[in-house]
Structure 1
């Protein structure tokens, strides 16, 4: 497929922002698919100190394509801080925050932008992110992780949990939160809420920004008629304890910022103990799965 040629002086309809951190080969395909879209766009790849050579390979693949901007941080700043730095360089009136393992189809951007135009109060629009089998990620359509909801989700109890039960909708529906794997936002809304909270390093910053968008008087919507292929993060596979640490730290920050239960000192102590006990209990299984994966890779190499 030939590279779409933007009209001289045309401003991009959307600035796509992707954060990489040793994200693997899927990042290369993510960039290729996005840059194959026919809409006027800007693709900003902001790299958090990768050592896999993929960001450099993307620069070579798309050399001369003025729509591509690669920013090298030289250190792992975390997801939110990297997005904020990229957004400061964005030239589009709309931002699309995209995970490096999400693959766009040619019409995906247009459909999302159409939804944004038709929903004047929208501050965030998400899509249904799916695995290769077409199964929707429950995080695509969810609620604020208030304490009671989180506990029901954790133990599998009936009642209102964090994820909204049932098949993903096939139309535009208003919700409390969507997956951070794909989030479309007007740039002026992003600026008004000061972007992502940089105190989160990885995980829960998407829940935070959805909540702050709503608190600022805007709406969060899920475009249920838009499906996007989403793989599993390389960082989660290769650094599970590192990722889990920051995920639990993000849970704690969200609880302290937004949950009314955080006004009760006894509950605060119980939640703190519960979060970090849960983190510690997960470590043996994460190490075992990592060791098993390494043995399988080594076996494949020697076979």
Structure 2
């Protein structure tokens, strides 16, 4: 098999069906390409909607619905498909991860696939994201570091200028180029890479898992590339609601951040990161207060202290 597209659904069935209408003609044009939808135990009627939608579109020959008995998160949902696909007599040469809230522009899948075929030293590639107003969203990133944490949370002009090359978010490149990591919303992975570095780390429930995967891919000697002309319409926050103005950052984001920092830099480094970040947040808030400005993300400092310094509960919120 040439290509397997994987979409992990959680209460987003209607968005997945809209994606199918644009995606499947691209897969049929490629040939030897199929799609698997992993439903992460959605508590709504997603399974029924997806099953009926696939049947009504007569896409059963190219689209398969897999029901997960649990919601293990983004990485775990993709891993269900990875494990099963790798056991096939002819495993896919490439895996294309596509968010349920992402709709590929015409030619996007072929552009990613052709790039992978042309550059065998590249292990992972990502394409551009655009919103419903046709504005580009951030889709290329640097690996997090202590300096990037300071820059992001201090929010001081002179420090932002000094640490510009350490910012996690990058300006979207206009041409194909290597980057540290790309978003899992529009990501293609070479099979040999998965076989060599392993699947997603399921200790991440949601967020930071693609950062960890791309770091392992880089450590294995492969490059990560961004391909600007492979574009998807990304209606961000459909599943998580993270783009809502008053949405507080959930506990699982803090859990994933802490796990990534401990895994990458060591447990002792996490304490240092957290103390410095808490200081940066405090300085920024003091400056906002003295300048009479409205406080940004008013609950963030409280949640940061709660999830990083107070005794931690096991349940996810």
Shorter-chain TM-score above 0.5: yes
Matching residue within 57, 64, 68 for 2:63: 68
Distance 1:200 1:271, change over 3 A: farther
Unaligned runs of 5+ in 1: 1-10, 286-303
Instruction: Give TM-score, length-normalised by structure 2.
Output: 0.76
What is residue 54 of structure 1 aligned with on the other side? Answer: 46
Distance 1:272 1:86, change over 3 A: farther
Instruction: Give TM-score, length-normalised by structure 1.
Output: 0.80
1:275 Cα shift? 11
What is residue 213 of structure 2 aligned with on the other side? Answer: 209
1:225 Cα shift? 2.1
What is residue 164 of structure 1 aligned with on the other side? Answer: 170
Counterpart Cα distance in 2 of 1:173 and 1:223: 7
Counterpart Cα distance in 1 of 2:201 and 2:46: 27
Q: Deviations over 1:15-62 (max 9, x none)?
A: 000111112521221223222222221111001111332343222222
SS in 1 for 2:133: coil
Q: Determine whether 1:78 maps to 2:78.
A: no
SS in 2 for 1:28: helix
Q: How does 1:265-284 map to 2 (within 5 A)?
A: 267=272, 270=275, 281-282=299-300
Mapped contact 2:261–2:269 kept (Cα < 8 A): no
Distance 1:265 1:124, change over 3 A: closer
Distance 1:122 1:265, change over 3 A: closer
Matching residue within 20, 30, 36 for 1:31: 20
Distance 1:120 1:61, change over 3 A: same
Mapped contact 1:236–1:243 kept (Cα < 8 A): no
Q: Deviations over 1:120-152 (max 9, x none)?
A: 1111100111111222222x1110011211221
Q: Determine whether 1:22 maps to 2:11.
A: yes
What is residue 92 of structure 2 aligned with on the other side? Answer: 92
Mapped contact 2:262–2:270 kept (Cα < 8 A): no
Which stretch of the first structure deviates more once superposed, 269-278 or 75-84? 269-278
What is residue 104 of structure 1 aligned with on the other side? Answer: 104
Q: Determine whether 1:179 maps to 2:178.
A: no
Which stretch of the first structure deviates more once superposed, 197-206 or 84-93? 84-93
What is residue 143 of structure 1 aligned with on the other side? Answer: 142
Matching residue within 215, 220, 223 for 1:219: 223
1:251 Cα shift? 1.1
The CA RMSD measured in Å over matched residues stands at: 2.9
Q: Determine whether 1:249 maps to 2:275.
A: no
1:153 Cα shift? 2.3
Counterpart Cα distance in 2 of 1:280 and 1:87: 40
Counterpart Cα distance in 1 of 2:270 and 2:48: 49
1:175 Cα shift? 0.5
Distance 1:32 1:276, change over 3 A: farther
Mapped contact 2:111–2:230 kept (Cα < 8 A): yes
Q: How many equivalent residue pairs?
A: 270
Counterpart Cα distance in 2 of 1:274 and 1:28: 46
Counterpart Cα distance in 1 of 2:79 and 2:281: 28
